[in-house]
Structure formats: structure tokens, C-alpha cells
Structure 1
Amino acid sequence: MTLTDIEPFTVQRPAAGQDPSAEVPPAGHFIGGSFVPGSGADTIDVVDPATENVIAQVPAGTAADVDAAVEAALAAQKSWGATTPKERSEVLARIANIIEANRESLELLESANTGKPRAVVEDDVSSTIDTFRFMAGACRTLTSLAGGDYATGHTSVILREAVGVVGVITPWNYPLLMAAWKVAPILAAGNSVVLKPSEQTPLSTLKLAELVAGQIPDGIFNVVTGHGRTVGQRLAEHPAIALVALTGSVVSGQAVAETAARTVKRVHLELGGKAPVVVFPDADLAAAAAGVRNAGFWNAGQDCGAACRVLVHESVAEEFTRLLVQEVSTLAVGAPGAGDGVEIGPMISRPHFERVRAALAEAKAAGLHAAIGGNVLQGPGYFIEPTVFSNVPAGADIASHEIFGPVVTVETFGSTEEAITRANETPYGLSASVWTRDSALSLNVPKALDFGTVWVNSHLVLACEVPWGGFKGSGYGRDLSLYALDDFSRTKHVMINHGA
């Protein structure tokens, strides 16, 4: 296949879109087990990014709304924190069952709110269910240092306790799933939650609240909608919140950490990424190209672990780029209701669409070559062509900064040492992948890469049993696995003097 053989990208659109209005949850904040009106009059439009239509309005929360939610969470946590792991496990399993029983309505709402294709929302909901089920079991398996006499005449016991009320701020790219990644281990550890969803994508989180109302103890799960500068700020500064957990941008993480420091509260941050994909000359190039197609463009590239920066050995760069362009040319762009074949949806919002468009324009102005794509798509909705920039020079801005769209860059390297150095140059440290058949490289290179997750011959494969989180500018703390339960609990040492 040559570039002249590639058909131009077009946006597939449904003949008639599904109406999500019947699934829209009640307007209001979810506090103490029920929906309540906001204390202010301002509202926020929730927009379908595939059509640009307003599909709902939610309250623009205030500090007073956060205070009310924290009060409810504090009251509920006292009894919730005293429950046994078995009792908490049963509640988490109940949440998983409720989600599974209502997955179609959650998928419809998530698609309408985010523009995600069917395959992506189905995976999101399935992973959400699995997260709650895993944590339902994990909370019954926690272990600590064995009790014993570590000082003469004194017996030590290590207790694992809840931290209290946890403030959570979730992003727009995986609204329901990122809520689950936080809420499940937080509840499993015996804490209560006050959650602020992204003002752009609050609907699936509010729907979850509607579904679990009356099915779980009132007050352990609270949702306050609104802007980060108001609701997020109050969560970070509230003296009764013991820990604040955020998935979002580096700028948001910095603001939360700075504010939280004033009350010396713990912070759990999962921030941005610019994942390098290091392709060695012995790699299966076809598999690597297919891997980048899937992991670079999943959720339209709006993923902090996306395989967006390829570093390929100079001896195979031309062949790899040809294979990658061929793979990317088969991606189908469209609105969620256009059919199961759609793989690439829109950018989440007009401002984000403009940011990605500006990045493409800047790359072209710098003389970079788009081997495929590189343009916006006309019509309603915030659609960008799947794009691959080839022969990108070291240090290029588009290969250094997180674009968060369907854009992959391809650079070359000449030696293993150069590949490692270049891969580590990014200020982020969330994830990376290595593609090679060489067993020594597959063991040694991941050790040298400064990223929290390194895949070998795959990319963006996740499991609830293993941790997810980054280094450097990508934040600290771990989601998923038993490590998340560690992060959302605290240890207490009790030493009993029996030698007197």
C-alpha cells in the first residue's frame, strides 16, 4: 500500500442517534444517600462531543456543597470504618452486581457524554465491574508484619486502619472507570468518599450514585459536581478530609498538592504521560505496528498511557512506518451510534479539540511530515484525523508534550543506550513499552526505563491484580492491586508492655 492508495478519513454518523435523555440521572449533588439541590443557582452544560448538543445540566457546586458532603461522609465513616472486611466486601460486590445489571444504560450515557465508540464503553464498564469485584476480595486478604515481641517484654501488633474521608477528583477521559479505580479501594479500606467528577463528563458517575442509592450505607459515597477551581479547591483544602486523590493533568495535580500541603494531608496523584514505544531491529514489526494502532489510538488517544511516541531503530524505521501507516489507515472514525465498526470518536470538548488542532498546526509549521492524517474533520463534533508524524527529530515539541489526541510520532535511534536516554528524556514517567525478541533486552531495558509500568511486546494491557501509577511528573501513588489498598489506609503500631 502507498500513500496514494489510502482513502481519506471521514466521520461515520448514525442515521438517528440514540436518545440518552431517559438515562440522565436526577439533577443535583448526591449527598448522604440522596440527590439534593445545589446551594447556588449556576449550572454547567453537559455536551455530547459527537454532535455538540447539550444533553443535560448539572449544578456548579460551591464550597458550601462540599462542606455538606464532607459532613455526611464524616458521619457515615464512623460506622463504615468499624465494619469487618467481610461486610465491606459484600457491599462492593453488591455495587459490582448493580453495575452489571445496568450496564446498557451506563454504556449509553457514557457514549453520549464522551463520544466513545461502543467497544471502548463496553470495556470501560466491564473493567469497572471487575475493579469492584477485585477489591471486594482484596479487602479480605490484607496482611501486615506478624505480631510478636520485637522488644524485650513488649508485644507489637500492627493495625490497618481507614484514613477517614477521602476527597476524589476524576478526569473526563474515563469518567466511570476512574471513579471505580478510586472509589473501590477507598471504600474497601473503610473510608468514605466525596467525589468531584469532571464538569465535562459527570453523568455516568451521577448515574452510579442513582443506582446504588439505598443499596449501600448512606453517606459513604457522595458526589458534588462543579468546577475544579471551586469544588476541587475545597476538597484539597478541607481540614476534615484526610487524603485527596486525583487523576488528571500535571497542572491540576500541582494545584491540589500545593493546597493540600497547607493542612498536611496525604495526596494520591495519577497525572499525565507521554509513553515511549521502543522498537528494536529484531522486533516483530507487524506486531509492533498493530500494537501502536490499538494502544496509540484507543479512546482517540485520550489516554495517559497511550502509545504515542515511537522510538524505532534507524535500520527498520522505514519499514515500521510503512506498516504503521497501513494499520492506521484502517481506523474508522465516527459517532458512537454509527455502528460497531467505529473505533475513533471525537475529542471531548471544543477547547480540547482546539488544543489538538493547534499542536498539529505547530508541528506542520515546524516542517514535520504527517505520513497520514494531520487534519481536523469537518461537520458537527470534535473529530480529528488519526495522525502519524514520521522522521520526527529529537527534542521536537510534539514528541515531548502530551497531545492527548489521536496523534503518534515516530523517531529513530541508533543504539540501545541512545534509545534508553531518549525514552527517559520526557518529564513524565507513567508507562512505556519495549518491542524485541531478544531476551536480554526484554529484561535489561525495562529496568533502565524510568516509568511505573513497562510492557514488553504489548502496550496498554491492564489487570486489577497489578499496580498502575507513575514516577516524575506523572505523580505518585498506585491505583489497582493491593498497593491501592495500602495507599488508602494507614498502619498503626500498638506495643503492649507485659514484662513489668
Structure 2
Amino acid sequence: MAQLASFKVPVINNEPMRSYAPGSADRKGLEAALQRVAAAAPYDVPAIVNGKEIRSGDKQGQPMPHDHAKNLSVYHAATAETVTKAIDGALAVKPEWEDMPWADRAAIFLKAADLIAGKYRFDIMAATMLGQGKNAWQAEIDSAAELVDFLRFSVKFVEELYTQQPSRNSDGVWNRTEFRPLEGFVLAVTPFNFTAIGGNLVVAPAIVGNVVVWKPAPAANYSSYLLYKILVEAGLPDGVIQFVPGSPPDIVKQCIDHKEFAGLHFTGSTHVFRKLWKDIANNIDLYRSYPRIVGETGGKNFHVYHPSSDIKPGVIQAIRAAFEYSGQKCSALSRCYVPRSLWEGGFQEELIKQAGSITIGPCTEFQHFTGPVIGRPAFDRITGIIEKAKQEGAEVIVGGTADDSKGFFVQPTVIVTKDPKSITMTQEIFGPVMTVYVFEDSEWDQTLELIDTTTEYGLTGALFGRDRLAVTKAAGKLRNAAGNFYINNKSTGAVVGQQPFGGARASGTNDKSGSISIFYRFVSARSIMESFVDPTEFSYPSNLV
């Protein structure tokens, strides 16, 4: 198609957060959406391939974490035949999708962002709250603001990517670079804990012209389905993104065993990611090209406090980092290092007071700071780890109790250990459990070394202190301990376009979602050199005698 102008996307800013204060129009709108979405459950969710709904009859439930006897949705697990159709259909539409003018591709995702920010804001929040156990504030952060930010900033970053061209041209030559999509299809395997991450894992490859097979998390099935339908309403062509819920091992294996498999965009456990990497490596002779492997996995994130730290702000930051969304964030605080002078000087007392005042409850009760964990396996794992910590001799100073009679509720728990390599200081928990290790003030340097070497992870970490010299030195010592490092701020809450997110070591490939960096991973650049002046002879000047 003719390109008759060089277009400029609108100015992109972060989506403003709404507060949902009592009596506000936003609170009323969200409450109404919660009632409406809950009343219509369970939703029948098919696979969607080439724009057509496919119901296998193999129905799997998505229980609501706060009321696990009820399903928010029942989805039809995709069969091997459906996955084959999804791959073939995506590859068939790929040439037309990658050839679509950039402005038209960009318009789809900008429109989807506006649909979520306005028309569907309360609906997708309600789906996230009921299905994934988030309260109103956490759902606003995730399924409204961050999801909108991912969509809009993706357009901005890709526009910037496409403007990057060679800076030099010889006389009579024009050098150009085009950023082709990968040759084949991309598999997106998305997690339960962030509707926005699910959206980003799918959109990041698609916006640069790739076609995507989307395997959503079972526990986030309905919000993922709603997002898919919003993308279609925004103009996404059939087949560009194929929606295939179902068995993760079966769907993933079928995709990575395909010759045209070109890339994996994954968020999930370190164990699963490592296995997928090995499986892809074993298939390397099968593929048309070397697949791109992009993954963000687990973390064992830390806060460390210098003796010069302020107590109350430090405690508040720890509570938010550890217990927002019941600790079910890749970046959640899990291990906390506090000097004895601070601990005995009021930190312990303030922590017990503040953490002990947290209430938990269903998403429909807005007064609660946090809610349930996602499901039975998570509940059993978290409570089991707490019991093992007790058996090791650790002291539970807040929480430690749980109730699964109706929903999967685990009380925010603070553990104090004398062993910096105990189970809750080394093993990822992914739940509302924070462990404190109290160190001697004189052992500051040794504690920094301990933080850097105790676990295999390297996702997020935070350093607190007023002594700038100590802060500067400590930040240097912890350079490789976290891909997202915070000074006098909690370890959670990276904002798209402001703090590119990702960790290294066992925490992932550190490709930094929320920045331009992630898009380099899903393109394959082609350098083009065009000559305007024809040569007149083949010999060189040095050949003359």
C-alpha cells in the first residue's frame, strides 16, 4: 500500500490512576461491574482460532480465589488439532500482517488502550478482581493503568525503533535498515498474576509484525479472554493472535516442536523456563532459525536497611512490598535484612504494629488491604513453607495462620530467623510471607555479600539509608543482585516507560519490558545498501603502473 506521509504517533503519557474513594463515581461504577460480572458467571470460554470459536468439550474451571466453590469461567481446553490449526492459521496471515503499514498496526493498539481506559475499564478490573483475587487498587494498577501503558508505550517505542537508521552514507549510496518480524510464529505463555503482563507478552511480538499463539494462564483465563476480545474490537485481524487455553505442557510442547517456531515470550517459574530452554535447545536442528527466548521468572527479592534508615517509612515500604496482592508479584519482598540497632530501636515494634493491623478479605469488600492467594496449590505450598520454618526454629511474630474454608486466605506473615540461609530466606514462596534476618551493625559489608550470594535469583532489591556514602558503596556491591534496584523505595511497582522491568541470573533474560529493549528481541534487522552510481571498471587504482 502507498505510504504518503511519515506519521507521528500522539504524545504518550502514563495512564492516570483512579482512587475509587467511597461515594465516587468510579467506586460505584466498579461495584456495579463486579455485581454484573459475578452474576453472569461462569463464562463459557472457547479457544479462538482464525477468528472462529472452538469448543472441545474438555471443560476446565477457573475458581474464584475468594470463593472457590464457584467458577468465574469454564474454558474449553484446546486439542492438538486446534493447536495445529492455530499455528497454520497464524502463519497463513503473517505476510499480510507484517506488510500492513505501521500506522495502521499502531492504530489497533492505541484504540485498544482507549477501549480499556474507558469503555471496558471496570469490566476488565472486575474480571481481574474476581478471577485473580485482586482488590480494587491492585486491579487498577494492573488491568487498567499498566495494561493501557503497555499498549500505548509499545506504539511509542516501536516508532522510535523504526527511526533508528545508519548514520553514514558513502557518496552515491543510501544505507537503510528495516526491522523485520521473526520468520515463523511466537509462542506467548502468560502468567496469572498480572493481566497487564499477559497483554504485554502477546502485544510486544505482535506489534512489530509477528503472529502469536497465546497460551493464557488457567487462573487468569477470563480476563485474558476479555482482553483478546477487546483487541479484536480494536481491529486486530483474525489469526494474528490465536487464543488457545488448555494444558500448558501439551500446548507448549506442540509449539516448540514445530519447524516454524521462532520465539518464546514467557513469564512463569524458573524451573519451567529452564526446562523449556533445554527442550528448545534439543530441537535446534529442527528450526528454520535460532528461536528467540525471552523470559521473566522468579525472584527472592530483598530489602536491606542501613543503620541510618528512618524506621516508619522503612516499615511501610516493607509491608507494601511484601503483602500487596498477598505477595504474588515476581518483585515482592521476601527477605528483609535489618541492623540490630534499628530492629531494637523501634523497627520490630513498628513492624508488628503495622503488619498486625492488615485485614484480608474478598475483593468485593473494599476495606481490605489484601486478599486470597490464587488457588489450592499455592495455599498448600505457602502454608507448608511456614510450617517448615517453624520446625527449623524460626519465630513467627505476625500472622502464620490460614483459612481455606471458603477462599484461599493466608494471613500476612512475618518470620524472624537467625539463619540467613534458612528455607524462607532462600526458597521462592510467592505468597504473603516476609522473613527478617537481624544482623549486627558491624557486619554491614558481610551482610551485603550475604544478600548477593544467598540465592540464585536477581530480580528486585531495595536499599534504605540516609548516609549517602554508605548507600553509594552498597549499591555498587549489590550491582548484580537485582535487575531492578531501588533506593529508599520498595522493591515493587515498576512503571512502564519509567522503570524498565526484568532480572538476570535465575530470574530471567533481563530484556526489560516497559522499554524499547524488549522489541529488539522480536525483530530481525535487515541492512539495505542501494547504489546510485554505476562502476565503470573492475580494477583498483593501486593496480595502475
Question: Are the aligned partners of 2:47 and 2:77 in contact in 1 as well (CA < 8 Å)?
Answer: no
Deviation at 1:341, TM superposition (A): 1.3
Per the alignment, residue 26 of structure 2 pairs with: none
Per the alignment, residue 134 of structure 1 pairs with: 153
- Partner of residue 462 from structure 1, selected from 494, 507, 525: 494
Per the alignment, residue 7 of structure 1 pairs with: none
1:453 equivalenced with 2:493 (yes/no):
no
Question: Are the aligned partners of 1:271 and 1:474 in contact in 2 as well (CA < 8 Å)?
Answer: yes
1:485 equivalenced with 2:519 (yes/no):
yes
Question: Are the aligned partners of 2:221 and 2:245 in contact in 1 as well (CA < 8 Å)?
Answer: yes
Per the alignment, residue 180 of structure 2 pairs with: 161
Per the alignment, residue 8 of structure 1 pairs with: none
1:209 equivalenced with 2:225 (yes/no):
no
Deviation at 1:204, TM superposition (A): 0.5
SS in 2 for 1:389: strand
- Partner of residue 435 from structure 1, selected from 450, 456, 464: 464
Question: Are the aligned partners of 1:154 and 1:499 in contact in 2 as well (CA < 8 Å)?
Answer: no
Question: Are the aligned partners of 1:321 and 1:410 in contact in 2 as well (CA < 8 Å)?
Answer: no
Cα 1:362/1:432, change in 2 over 3 Å = same
The whole-number CA distance in structure 2 between the counterparts of 1:83 and 1:431 is 38
Cα 1:440/1:189, change in 2 over 3 Å = farther
Question: Which one has more relative contact order, counting CA pairs under 8 Å at least 6 apart?
Answer: 1
Once the two structures are overlaid, the 10-residue window that deviates more, 396-405 or 61-70, is 61-70
Deviation at 1:484, TM superposition (A): 1.3
Deviation at 1:62, TM superposition (A): 2.6
The whole-number CA distance in structure 2 between the counterparts of 1:499 and 1:259 is 50
Per the alignment, residue 336 of structure 1 pairs with: 363
SS in 2 for 1:136: helix
1:60 equivalenced with 2:77 (yes/no):
yes
Cα 1:448/1:492, change in 2 over 3 Å = farther
Question: Are the aligned partners of 2:338 and 2:436 in contact in 1 as well (CA < 8 Å)?
Answer: yes
Per the alignment, residue 282 of structure 1 pairs with: 308
Deviations 1:364-420 (CA, angstroms, capped at 9, x unpaired): 111110011111135311111100012442111111011111000001334332222
- Partner of residue 185 from structure 1, selected from 179, 182, 204: 204
Deviation at 1:72, TM superposition (A): 2.0
1:355 equivalenced with 2:373 (yes/no):
no
TM-score (norm 1): 0.91
Listed as ranges, the matches of 1:408-447 within 5 Å are 408-414=434-440, 415-425=443-453, 426-447=455-476
SS in 1 for 2:99: coil
Deviation at 1:285, TM superposition (A): 1.7
Cα 1:269/1:98, change in 2 over 3 Å = same
- Partner of residue 248 from structure 1, selected from 264, 268, 278: 268
Question: Are the aligned partners of 1:148 and 1:157 in contact in 2 as well (CA < 8 Å)?
Answer: no
1:99 equivalenced with 2:127 (yes/no):
no
Question: Are the aligned partners of 1:89 and 1:188 in contact in 2 as well (CA < 8 Å)?
Answer: yes
Deviation at 1:276, TM superposition (A): 1.0
TM-score (norm 2): 0.83
Rg larger in structure: 2
Question: Are the aligned partners of 1:166 and 1:242 in contact in 2 as well (CA < 8 Å)?
Answer: yes
- Partner of residue 508 from structure 2, selected from 468, 471, 475: 475
Cα 1:213/1:283, change in 2 over 3 Å = same
SS in 2 for 1:252: helix
Once the two structures are overlaid, the 10-residue window that deviates more, 210-219 or 47-56, is 210-219
The whole-number CA distance in structure 2 between the counterparts of 1:491 and 1:246 is 22
1:46 equivalenced with 2:62 (yes/no):
yes
> What residue ranges of structure 2 are gaps of 5+ in the alignment?
1-30, 285-289, 536-545
Once the two structures are overlaid, the 10-residue window that deviates more, 415-424 or 442-451, is 442-451
SS in 2 for 1:201: helix
Question: Are the aligned partners of 2:297 and 2:507 in contact in 1 as well (CA < 8 Å)?
Answer: yes
Per the alignment, residue 4 of structure 1 pairs with: none
Question: Are the aligned partners of 2:44 and 2:73 in contact in 1 as well (CA < 8 Å)?
Answer: no
The residue type equivalent to 1:201 in the other structure is A
1:295 equivalenced with 2:321 (yes/no):
yes
Question: Are the aligned partners of 2:208 and 2:519 in contact in 1 as well (CA < 8 Å)?
Answer: yes
The residue type equivalent to 1:45 in the other structure is G
1:198 equivalenced with 2:217 (yes/no):
yes
The residue type equivalent to 2:78 in the other structure is G
The whole-number CA distance in structure 1 between the counterparts of 2:88 and 2:249 is 21
Deviation at 1:296, TM superposition (A): 0.8
Matched residues, number: 480
The whole-number CA distance in structure 1 between the counterparts of 2:174 and 2:471 is 46
Question: Are the aligned partners of 1:20 and 1:112 in contact in 2 as well (CA < 8 Å)?
Answer: yes
Question: Are the aligned partners of 1:116 and 1:336 in contact in 2 as well (CA < 8 Å)?
Answer: yes
The residue type equivalent to 2:437 in the other structure is E
SS in 1 for 2:358: coil
Question: Are the aligned partners of 2:215 and 2:246 in contact in 1 as well (CA < 8 Å)?
Answer: yes
Question: Are the aligned partners of 1:25 and 1:210 in contact in 2 as well (CA < 8 Å)?
Answer: no
Question: Are the aligned partners of 1:166 and 1:186 in contact in 2 as well (CA < 8 Å)?
Answer: yes
Instruction: Give 4+ residue runs of structure 1 displaced > 6 Å after superposition.
Output: none
Once the two structures are overlaid, the 10-residue window that deviates more, 253-262 or 424-433, is 253-262
